[in-house]
Structure 1
Amino acid sequence: MMRITQSMFLRNTMQRLFNSRKILLDTQDRIATQKKIKQPSDNPVGFSRVQRLHESLRQNEVFLKNIEESEGWLENSSNLLEQVYQTIVDARIEATKGTDAVTTTELRASLAEQLRGIMDEIVATLNSTYLGKNVFGGTITKSATPFELNDLDVTYHGDDQFIKRRISKQVNISINVPGNQIMDTGIFDTLKETITALENDDVDALKVAIENMRQSEKKFLNINTVYGSKIDNLQLIKNRVTRTNENFQKFISQEEDAVLEEEVIKLKSEEIAYQAALQSTSQIMELNLMNYL
């Protein structure tokens, strides 16, 4: 039979006291921080799960930032395209006045001058910047303006590349309209054709030019329609990522946040247990051989 010495008895008692004190301090810490998991030793499985959720949340926050930046760029581009489209429509309507049989040569010359001003306005709009970057220059966003007007000839100095943003693990989205797409609508060629016909007082050529402009309008409108649908799709993705992040935050809270009501009840119970342990230990330490004589 093993002999239980006074020192062994005292050591075990002190260990129980320290354990009780640690439990009490841990509970106080959970109440102060409102967290029940802060390190792996608190709950290895739960800690690992929380870390994975935090990583997914951080990744989605990056995606949300990219989505919001993409929204801003697309909305700005779409607004500019809409302005240009309306200006093109106005130009065609003005040019149509020149096909009237009673229209004089002087009025056609005046209409041609108006269309030259409209052409200047369109080029200026297409040379707009967003956050200091050329909107319609492709990936050449920091150099000189992408469109140059020389008399009635427009030259494009950008490229045909797309600016892309990652908005989810599997999805990249192009957020810009390269200027070559605008050039491909033929809108500048038809404007030049229309102005030249007005200046030459050539009604037959003017009618052909106006019909060509109408076709260019449709092509230009298609571009804006495509980018308008991108904005709608982007909003759907944004809503989905936002809901996913809300779920992540809820799961993280459930896993690592302390329930204060429960912890306060535990604290009261552990304070009583600790006080009892203190009193018991104090009494044991006062015992000696004289107590048994």
Structure 2
Amino acid sequence: MRITNNMMTTASVRNINKNMERLSKAQEQVSTQSKIQQPSDDPVVASRAIRYRSYVARVEQYQKNVDNVTSWQEVTDSALSDLSDVMQQLKELVVQGSSDTLSDSDLAAIKEDVTQLQQTAIDTLNTSYGGRYVFGGYATDEEPYSMDADNNVLFKGQLISDFNDNGDEQAIKANIGYGTSVTVNVEGQDVTGMGSGNLFDTFAKVLDGLDSGDVSELSDTLDAIESNTDTILAAQADLGARMNYVSMVGKRLDNDYTTYKELMSNNEDVDMAEASAESATASTVYEASLSVGVKVMSKSLLDYLA
């Protein structure tokens, strides 16, 4: 087979272009630290990348949900602790007011303190997180507790003793995992109790006892205070169990996130040592092909006639 100059030139140009493409790909991998720049470079790696990125994105969203739920529940737990403190202070005032040695002015001073405690309880039960009231059930945009002109405490516009939710549970749920949801909130009626003997009914009885100066009436409210405190603690214990569960799910998501990120990295990221070596080799080969090409393409008829 006869080899012509034109054939040698064409082959040199083809090899130069091939080596230049190899060098360009190697340099792109080094600069981007990624095995592929487009799906066609390696369809298998590309399909895995889509799947792993989807896993990571899903876990990141669950982690955001867990953070939001945790913050909501921490605010709620703090409010319940404050409410327990209020009831403890109320108990101490009732014990103090049950003494036969107190004057009318002393009882009036204690009544003022009890009134302030009642307002503190209302404010605590109107605690909000991110502009949403945590004890209002689904009605998160309005203060659940208020006081009417007769100093009666209302829950969602109704007297607490008359409030009836018709069995309608208003549990706000959040998706925090793969098919896993958790109740975020604590409903106000589960904290104060409903009907006769609710928390604010107890406050009203204490205030009536201080007004009348009836020591026995005041003493009778101590059992109600204990019962109300137990209701608060029970709600807090239930919340605490859910908080522990959310924390456990959060740790599992952290582990999943680390695993999927490693899988994604192993699938997409280049080995920098190998990539650098390939880039150096490709550069050497390209320079060699250029050198050979120059020699081939510089030949003319005069070179052969000399």
SS at match of 2:146: strand
Most deviating of 267-276 and 217-226 = 267-276
Match in the other structure for 1:179: 188
- The offset of 1:200, in angstroms, is 2.4
| 1:166 maps to which of 140, 159, 175 | 175
State the alpha-carbon separation in 1 of the partners of residues 89 and 259 from structure 2: 50
Identity %, equivalent residues: 25
Shift of residue 278, structure 1, vs aligned partner: 2.3
Cα RMSD, aligned residues only:
2.6
How far residue 142 of structure 1 moved from its aligned partner, in angstroms, is 1.9
> Are 1:223 and 2:232 matched, yes or no?
no
Which residue number corresponds to residue 146 of structure 1? Answer: 144
1:280 aligns with 2:289: no
Q: Distance in 2 between matches of 1:5 and 1:165?
A: 76
Q: Does 1:113 align with 2:112?
A: yes
Whole-angstrom distance in 1 between the partners of 2:39 and 2:8: 33
Among candidates 252, 265, 271, match of residue 264 of structure 2 = 252
How does 1:25-174 map onto structure 2 within 5 Å?
Answer: 25-103=24-102, 107-143=106-142, 145-150=143-148, 151-157=150-156, 161-174=170-183
The amino acid that maps onto 2:120 is E
Instruction: Report the CA distance between 1:222 and its aligned residue.
Output: 0.9
Which deviates more, 2-11 or 161-170?
A: 2-11
Q: Does 1:196 align with 2:194?
A: no
- Aligned to 2:177, the other structure's residue is in SS state coil
How far does residue 180 in structure 1 lie from its aligned partner after superposition?
A: 2.4
Tell me the secondary structure at the aligned position of residue 167 of structure 1. Answer: strand
Tell me if 1:205 matches 2:217: yes
Deviation at 1:44, TM superposition (A): 1.4
Q: Is the 8 A contact 2:192 2:231 kept in 1?
A: no
Paired AA for residue 209 in structure 1: T
Counterpart Cα distance in 1 of 2:37 and 2:245: 39
- For residue 38 of structure 1, report the CA deviation from its aligned partner: 2.7
Query: Aligned to 1:35, what secondary structure does the other structure show?
Result: coil
Q: Any unmatched runs of 5+ in structure 1?
A: none
Look up the match of 1:232.
Answer: 244
In the alignment, which residue of structure 2 is the partner of 1:265?
277
**Change in CA separation of 1:194 and 1:17 when aligned onto 2, cut-off 3 Å:** same
Aligned-partner Cα distance in 2 for 1:47–1:126? 53
